[in-house]
Amino acid sequence: MRRPTAQSLAAASLVTLAAVTVPSAGAQTLHRYADADIALGEKLIAEHACAACHQRKVGGDGSGIYRPKGRVNNPGALRGMVDYCSVELKLQLFPEEVTSIAAVLQRDHYRFPAAHPGAAKP
């Protein structure tokens, strides 16, 4: 039995890595907000204590506030809800900050699918 060479081990590792990181043909692509800054969105969510407000409103860990029936059912509505919170709570968020927060919520809670090519964007 031959011992594997460094080159054969490296090649095998790359094949394995590619198999793990390439999505399958049936994988669903999620909506992405253009130019969203995820790190900024995470910072703003923590800074403005969004989770604490949600806990006061719905109890528990506050996650029950996500996906209320019929209200937030697409990426545009999600961004609009974040903007609504900004206005109601007088947070004075800039549009790019609203988008960044919406992008974090999309990633962590909503996971709306991407629009099909040629479909109207929300």
Q: What is the DSSP secondary-structure string of 85-113?
A: HHHHTT----HHHHHHHHHHHIIIII-PB
Cα–Cα dist 122/110, whole Å: 15
Residue 61 contacts residue 108 (beta carbons within 8 Å) = no
Residues 47 and 38: beta-carbon distance below 8 Å: no
Query: Which pTM was predicted?
Result: 0.71
- The ranges assigned to domains in the chain are 38-110
Say what the pLDDT of residue 99 is. Answer: 97
Helix (H) / strand (E) element for 47: namely helix 38-47
Q: Supply the pLDDT for residue 97.
A: 98
Query: Which of 61, 63, 95, 65 lies closest to 80 in space, CA to CA?
Result: 95
pLDDT for residue 5: 52
Residue pLDDT, tens place only, 15-39: 333 333 344 455 679 999 999 999 9
pLDDT at 85: 94
Residues ≥6 apart with Cβ < 8 Å to 86: 92, 93, 97, 98
User: For the segment 52-65, what is each residue's pLDDT rounded down to a tens digit?
Assistant: 999 998 889 888 88
**69 or 109: which leads in pLDDT:** 109
Mean of all residue pLDDT scores within the chain? 79
